[in-house]
Structure 1
């Protein structure tokens, strides 16, 4: 079994993405998570290029990493300096990183037009930069920038460039598809040629995703002989991103009959949670359709598919989702069949036959609600509550009863923000509560007022936070038969210290739709807490 080194550059190349901005604390949190996952190399940044990167290298020294080595990134020395007095190389050394990764020009026109130096001088710069870092006791990874384009333009010079790095002692030659335009068969053929020319060199691949081929190119490189792969979690990076390690790692571990190993199969179960962690820390929206770790990667919407996976999940799933820490999801939508409902009910401990009247009734109600705009594929908490109530699940009860709510909006001047105030009257176990609260907008004020009314009865609501709020105006067929009408669909994502959940509301009125979603969200939290408490009591 061949060991493939995994080199993560999320903290450096990943931050080149236009929507990624990480603080030093963010970078430290991600680095520790990557070490827990079992990543071999974590590239922390370019020391000296900005204060955040320099702070990272200073702070990461305080942590004892269990597996990963920290790499510092920089360039070969400037033509106006020698390697010994180049500030960039000195910054790499002062970072204290285990590994120094430097990039150099391997495409002849970049030497002559970008650096504006003779080709021979560029080869000397590559050699001297690597040799100096090696003489100072550092392992060196040489990132051969634009290598594949350079090799196609001038094979002799591109090979001379990486030979200069190898001859100076570079531990790894990472061949870069910097513009992301190379095709998998080209990567395979070129790396085979390099492997023959430098048979003892360790070759790596650093692929960009401009043709959506970064993962395919990385796999092709490894099949051709590379044993080092660079990429990022979730494929974040400049332009269209970098090679996605969340796809490369499980593909190598699971699809080649034990020919390769990366983190080890026991670590794969951490992959989905690591993907979600990086997304959360970076404060970006997750890509639900991402292979292996995406929320939709093992989601089944059509009735035929749901019926099949209910019998044997392998009929429509290429791996067991739990291997990578993900889970199967059977969605209830306008396309749902009775098998979807049977499958969903099974999750909650009900074993139903698809011909039972309750299943047919639920299917009809779900399809009717979906036609009105209820997005039950996205709002699993709402559909769980609906199913449990219909099936008589113990613990799903009326935690509170709304008697009235009122929302007021006041704007006193053109240049002043409007003031939002909501009041609610609710009944809890025969006790009536009347509260009011302000907020940033009508929905926030309504949410605040409802929680204020309920927290005396249910103190654990203080743990819950509203994380996201989405509104969509849609045209749907009027169920009363009045032609078409505009519905407003509100999706609310909430969470506590244990989990996240999404609820939905639909109405012609945005406040009413928001109330439905917020009320469902609070009900789900209360149900979840009572279910957890009951389980603990029964266990004890």
Structure 2
């Protein structure tokens, strides 16, 4: 099979930076540029627009200096303008060697924004290209609003391409500037142009306003596009650009006749770095790079994976430097728990596994997902119940109002008999303990152990909504002992630990 090489140009640092509220510092741009070229291995990067600011000029200088020292300068590109040489002078000062010249790809833009005729526009473009040549700068040309140009002023587009075919231009860039194209149009327009100008190099620049960015890219490639413009995490103006991660996976899996050099194993790493630098959070369900896209929640899926990889597809997480996860929650079942236990190097017998499963289901009703890091705590909580359950805290109401002491109302069953009590305290848990002490003092003539230590912890790396484990140390006349409670609410976990203490002393 013969392969057709496709150039991948990343424009995260230029077009992606047009995402609302996103601005990369000079050091961040340099870091991202290095990763894109040396680790992700894209063919080219577009890093800035000329004339934007002094800060942008310094950022480009930093990138071009590094690129020149590492043989990447020809892969570093800057957006420029038809401005009588101002952009060219800016590039010379910045040390850049490839300009992506922004021109008008539709008669509507040319007439109403520039208020010029095609010949006037072409003459100014020629002056720019000649000046760039004199400074040793390579020229690529953007046809801004090209998609509307093909829809509404096709004769102008072809007149423009005829002109460019006679100029010192390396690549023609065809942007769907407003993200309006359908896959059918993307295919037809690019195929028509490639057939008319078979020796010219055409890049396709897709936007995602209708969520058709990747579909349009596929159509454009099938029509003969020579290169693509993509952004990390699909960043870009409005709904963003065609995303790097999904596009690369689609090409590798569905377009075997095409050859790209991108290292897909680095997609996730680069995406996370850009997420951190940009402050633009990746949606958890975003294909390839989202937090949850390789997480199985349903127990039947984990069971199928264990038996014959029944729920695997070509999108294996290992391809992208990731691992498959099995969520723990009310719908996970024993198979998910077994998968997580294996990762932790833990084993449980069937009886204990059943208890742990039931406890996770109970917790899942309160907390959507139980993490793998929570699992040892849950096992400890469940297997700690070696006593006969003679005491049951049925229900309680805890109140806390500004300026008033916390109060509680408690209903508790002791060996089949139910009691209720109200009490105040210095805190909600203290009020709860005072109510319990009153019940045992009045009804059982028992003095409860002293609470001598109270510790709360959450699994390492957990979030603020994580399960928390409360460990209480008790002391009576004979000994000290500890009980644990586990819940997403700290006070509730302390009450669970107290209920265990009550069962121990009754037993």
TM-score by length of 2: 0.73
**In structure 2, what is the equivalent of residue 243 of structure 1?**
242
Superposition pairs for residues 68-107 of structure 1, below 5 Å?
Answer: 69-75=75-81, 77-78=82-83, 81=84, 86-107=85-106
Is 1:137 the counterpart of 2:133? The answer is: no
Displacement of 1:387: 5.0
User: Which of 19, 22, 43 is the equivalent residue of 1:20?
Assistant: 22
1:39–1:67 contact (8 Å) kept in structure 2:
no
Is 1:381 the counterpart of 2:380? The answer is: no
TM-score by length of 1: 0.69
CA deviations on 1:68-87 (whole Å, 9 max, x unpaired) are: 72111122x23xx4xxxx21
2:209–2:239 contact (8 Å) kept in structure 1:
yes
| Of 309-318 and 241-250, the range deviating more from structure 2 | 309-318
CA deviations on 1:381-422 (whole Å, 9 max, x unpaired) are: 324643587689xxxxxxxxxxxxxxxx99xxxxxxxxxxxx
What's the secondary structure of 1:269's corresponding residue? Answer: helix
**In structure 1, what is the equivalent of residue 278 of structure 2?**
282
**In structure 2, what is the equivalent of residue 11 of structure 1?**
13
Equivalent-residue separation in structure 1 for 2:97 and 2:381 (angstroms): 57
CA deviations on 1:502-526 (whole Å, 9 max, x unpaired) are: xx9623xxx758999xxxxxxxxxx
Equivalent-residue separation in structure 2 for 1:256 and 1:359 (angstroms): 45
User: Which of 24, 29, 32 is the equivalent residue of 1:30?
Assistant: 32
Displacement of 1:50: 1.4
**In structure 2, what is the equivalent of residue 525 of structure 1?**
none
Is 1:312 the counterpart of 2:294? The answer is: no
1:72–1:95 contact (8 Å) kept in structure 2:
no
Superposition pairs for residues 326-405 of structure 1, below 5 Å?
Answer: 326-350=322-346, 356-371=350-365, 373-376=366-369, 379-383=371-375, 385-386=377-378
1:38–1:67 contact (8 Å) kept in structure 2:
no
CA deviations on 1:93-124 (whole Å, 9 max, x unpaired) are: 33222321111101101001011112321232
Displacement of 1:184: 0.8
Equivalent-residue separation in structure 2 for 1:111 and 1:317 (angstroms): 48
User: Which of 243, 260, 263 is the equivalent residue of 1:262?
Assistant: 260
What's the secondary structure of 2:165's corresponding residue? Answer: helix
Displacement of 1:166: 3.4
1:9–1:42 contact (8 Å) kept in structure 2:
yes
1:308–1:315 contact (8 Å) kept in structure 2:
yes
Displacement of 1:191: 0.4
CA deviations on 1:28-83 (whole Å, 9 max, x unpaired) are: 111111122112111110132112211111112342446572111122x23xx4xx
Superposition pairs for residues 161-310 of structure 1, below 5 Å?
Answer: 161-257=160-256, 259-264=257-262, 267-310=263-306
**In structure 2, what is the equivalent of residue 39 of structure 1?**
42
Structure 1 unaligned spans of 5+: 393-408, 411-431, 435-445, 452-460, 470-488, 493-503, 517-540
1:288–1:294 contact (8 Å) kept in structure 2:
yes
Higher Rg = 2
Cα 1:387–1:192 change in 2 (3 A) is farther
Equivalent-residue separation in structure 2 for 1:233 and 1:275 (angstroms): 6
Superposition pairs for residues 412-431 of structure 1, below 5 Å?
Answer: none
Cα 1:107–1:307 change in 2 (3 A) is same
Cα 1:43–1:390 change in 2 (3 A) is farther
| Of 65-74 and 296-305, the range deviating more from structure 2 | 65-74
CA deviations on 1:456-491 (whole Å, 9 max, x unpaired) are: xxxxx9xx999x75xxxxxxxxxxxxxxxxxxx468
Equivalent-residue separation in structure 2 for 1:491 and 1:143 (angstroms): 53
- Report the RMSD for the aligned CA atoms in angstroms: 3.3
Cα 1:311–1:126 change in 2 (3 A) is farther
2:329–2:360 contact (8 Å) kept in structure 1:
yes
Displacement of 1:352: 6.3
Structure 2 unaligned spans of 5+: 385-401, 404-451, 469-485, 496-507
2:363–2:487 contact (8 Å) kept in structure 1:
no
User: Which of 50, 54, 63 is the equivalent residue of 1:51?
Assistant: 54
What's the secondary structure of 1:211's corresponding residue? Answer: coil
Displacement of 1:337: 1.8
Superposition pairs for residues 144-155 of structure 1, below 5 Å?
Answer: 144-155=143-154
Displacement of 1:273: 1.1
Cα 1:62–1:95 change in 2 (3 A) is closer
Equivalent-residue separation in structure 1 for 2:185 and 2:100 (angstroms): 25
Displacement of 1:289: 1.2
1:123–1:160 contact (8 Å) kept in structure 2:
no
